[in-house]
Amino acid sequence: MKNRVIIFLLISIFSTNILFCQQPTNKSINNSAMAVFSESNSKPSLSSLENIIKNDSDDEARANAVGALGKLKIPESVEFLLETTNDPSPRVAIESIIALSEFCDNIQYKEKIISFLEIKETTRIGFRESLAIAYVFCKFGYNYNYNINWLSLFIENPVKMYVSRDSAYYLGKLGDVSVIDVLIKSIEKNEKTVNNASYSEEVFNALVDIVLNSDKNYKIVEKKMKQEKGIAKKYLKEVIEYADNIKIHGR
């Protein structure tokens, strides 16, 4: 359960409003779905939960039922959850990824789920971030201390380029100077390998945000720039110059 809460928090870092844009409706949720979370009821069967997910007209009830499959860790539900990741409802699809990640501590399913997450492609905002988060959780284990650690992990062990790019963006917004080395190493690797321009731009902007976060950060990055050589030195020099220009003229 702890892992599930943490993954929800992580998804909130990456996702846009699509993840939580559907507010709970005023109409009563299907009684069978409510029974899923009722302490007074016996554990629901796989068939009863599948029936809610397949046939209920309320996406909230369906998402709750998917979550129950993960919470209850019903082994036979893994194949069904893999299929449910294609559900047209963003909430249900994302919930299925979170539910799948609950099975990653089971050696019988871990590799199957990791393989699925590695090849799964999507352009759906919110869902794609949950894919990456679940992948890192399954691949590297539960090691959550602070979101900077996770964001850095996405950059150091890229799952998809857009995930690394988005991670760089959020690292910049956090403004923590401790991630400078992670960002610099990633940009050096990027320029020497795939040379993805949009990623370079996002890392550049992240570094600028960190520099502008405080005078202390500015001095640390400036000192780092003087110590570095090659690509890193050139890159940090441009970051400092751009930050100086913003201070004078604004963005």
C-alpha–C-alpha distance, residues 119 and 135, integer Å: 11
Helix or strand or coil: residue 196?
A: coil
Pick the last residue of a domain from 144, 166, 183.
144
Lowest pLDDT segment from 177-181, 190-194, 201-205, 225-229? 190-194
Task: Please check whether residues 159 and 247 belong to one and the same domain.
Answer: yes
Nearest alpha-carbon partner for 133 in 111, 112, 117, 120: 117
- Do 126 and 168 sit in the same domain of this protein? no
Residue 121, pLDDT score: 65
120 and 229, same domain (yes or no) = no
Question: Do 4 and 87 belong together in one domain?
Answer: yes
Question: Quick one: pLDDT band at residue 220, thresholds 50, 70, 90?
Answer: very high
pLDDT digits (tens, 9 = 90+) for 154-184: 677 665 666 677 778 777 877 888 888 889 9
Question: What's the confidence (pLDDT) of residue 143?
Answer: 46
Residue 209 pLDDT: 92
Kindly state the tokens that stand for 99.
């539910």
Same domain? For 93 and 129 the reply is yes
The domain in which residue 81 lies consists of 1-144
Last residue of one domain, picked from the residues 144, 179, 203: 144
Question: 126-165, pLDDT tens digit by residue?
Answer: 566 666 666 666 665 544 334 566 667 667 766 566 667 7
Inter-residue contact 84 to 66 (CB < 8 Å): yes
Count CA within 13 A, CB hemisphere, residue 152. 18
* pTM for this predicted structure: 0.50
Query: Quick one: 69 and 155 in the same domain?
Result: no
Mean pLDDT computed over 52-73 = 91
192 and 235 in a single domain? The answer is: yes
Q: Distance (Å, rounded) from C-alpha 223 to C-alpha 208?
A: 15
Counting the structural domains of the chain, the total is 2
Q: Do 2 and 94 fall into the same domain? A: yes
DSSP secondary structure letter of residue 229: -
